Amino acid sequence: MDVTTVRAQRRARRYDKERGCYVYDVAFKTVAPLTERTVQVAEAFGLGIDEEQTHILYDDFELHLADGDIVYITGDSGSGKSVLLDAIRRDLGDEAACMNQLTEPGDEPIIDTVGNTFKKALGILSRVGLNDAYLFLRRYHELSEGQRYRYRLAQLLDSGKKHWLCDEFLSTLDRTTAKVVAYNIQKQARRTGATLIAATTHNDLSRDLAPSIHVVKGWGKEIKAKYTRDAAAPRCTVTDDVVVEEASKEDYQRLSYLHYRGGRVTAPLKYYRMTRLGELIAVIVYSSPGVRAGGRKDAVGYTPTLTELNKDWILISRVIVHPKYRGIGLGSRLIAETLPLQGRSHVELIAVMAQYNPFAERAGMTLKKIKEPHPTVTGAMEHLRRLGFKPALMGSLRHNKTTLDSLPRRELVHDALLVIAPGLYLRRLTRLNKMYVTRRELQDWLPEQDNTSLARALKTLSVLAQTKAYLHWSSQRCPK
């Protein structure tokens, strides 16, 4: 079968020192094959089809590219955007990473595929909006298309490359997700000082990318470049339509499945929601504070009485943002807008994720302490490990029950739980409706429980064994 012969001619691609820019001259030459119908076309239109045709895409086009630029290349399909992007990639060489050419990870959970330590991996994934405990455990092929874009951004962050190139940028995503991801990518590029160069047919991302260079590629050699140095995107345009208002328990329950600790909240007091064009996209729950909290004394310099706690203190017990809208500051905004509405002098937050993602600090809270588990909890976990339990899996009821069923003497587990202190922890383990549970009460409770109940107690113990961040906010620091 005859095909059209296409020959790309790169007449010049050079760096002009006097003008301080890259200069591109790119053209294609084509020769049509002689077939019965192409000859008929030649006869009908008077064409010399045996002659070589030149198609100029770039004619002495200047690109003044500086480190840290955000370059947005738009134009119709087939106008030559990818050709320019490829020419730029060749100029940048090993300093460039192309998002479309990154190696897809295998069958490992994504937490194992970025960062050289666990903490760095959590930090990288959280920065791109993949900040969900269960999401860390998913494999790449299990992610949605939007989440795959976020993951590839995590790979760019992890690559250490100075230039990030993206062809067909966000072209397959719905436009709300595209705006969220575009804002997130430019934010991370600016944060790290990387140069982002994105080419796409979509021209609706200007406000979210806030490009310092916007190249509009027309047909033929038509091209324009607009330079706006020191540009910055103040916020994602998706947030323009967001509303924060008081909510109900039902609103929280609609999004509770997205939180790794599930739907049960102890002593809830107030609910607030965030909506966008009628869609529920985030919730926050404020609850009564616990009797004890590691870090509270660090925050105020003394131990508040129960009367003070009930009157002046409140706890943020849940903050949930829909995965589609993560990475654009909505969690911080939800906290910041609802903190002053509580009428309490002190608001506290105790969370695992806050160690890796400073969303609460951006809202005005202060990190006071990284709270390690109580020594008796650590000791109990070590005792259970020696019995055959795997601490990393004790959040699983199935693992706990399977291990319990295999033990010749269940009393060995009782021995581990009996060393737990203080009494508040014992109450949480037993779920007894009492402010405190003594060791004697625990000793009486344990033998009566079947393995399913004990498996639940061990799952609670695994939560107590977590290292958490304690954050505090005081209304006295804020202007009236």
- Is the domain spanning 239-362 CATH 3.30.2130.10? The answer is no
For residue 61, the model assigns a pLDDT of 80
Q: What is the pLDDT of residues 94-151, one digit of tens each?
A: 889 999 889 999 899 999 999 999 989 998 998 898 988 888 999 999 999 999 999 9
Contact 11, 26 (CB under 8 A): yes
Instruction: Find the length of the chain.
Output: 480
**Which 3 state secondary structure label does DSSP give 88?**
helix
Position 14 pLDDT exceeds 80: no
CA separation for the pair 274, 261 (Å, rounded): 20
Least confident range of 12-16, 249-253, 355-359:
12-16
Sort residue 267 into left (φ over 0), alpha (ψ -120 to 50) or beta: left
Check: pTM over 0.85? Answer yes or no. no
For residue 52, the model assigns a pLDDT of 63
- 459 CA to centre of own chain: 27
Continuous segment of H or E residues that includes residue 145: helix 145-159
Q: What is the pLDDT of residues 379-420, one digit of tens each?
A: 999 999 999 999 988 989 999 999 999 998 888 899 889 988
**Alpha-carbon distances of 327 from 4, 113, 184, 439, rounded to whole Å:** 47, 20, 6, 45
Number of H helices, E strands in the chain: 17, 16
CATH number attached to the domain at 65-234: 3.40.50.300
Q: Where are the domains of the chain?
A: 1-64, 65-234, 239-362, 375-464
Strand order, beta sheet including 195-200: 96-98, 163-166, 195-200, 70-75, 213-217, 223-227
- For residues 161-174, one letter each, b for 16 or more C-beta atoms within 10 angstroms of the residue's C-beta and e for the rest, the string is bbbbbbbbbbeebe
| Mean pLDDT of all residues in 420-445 | 85
Contact 359, 331 (CB under 8 A): yes
Q: What is the pLDDT of residues 224-260, one digit of tens each?
A: 889 997 677 889 999 999 999 999 999 999 999 998 8
Tokens of 393: 């899996």
Position 4 pLDDT exceeds 60: no
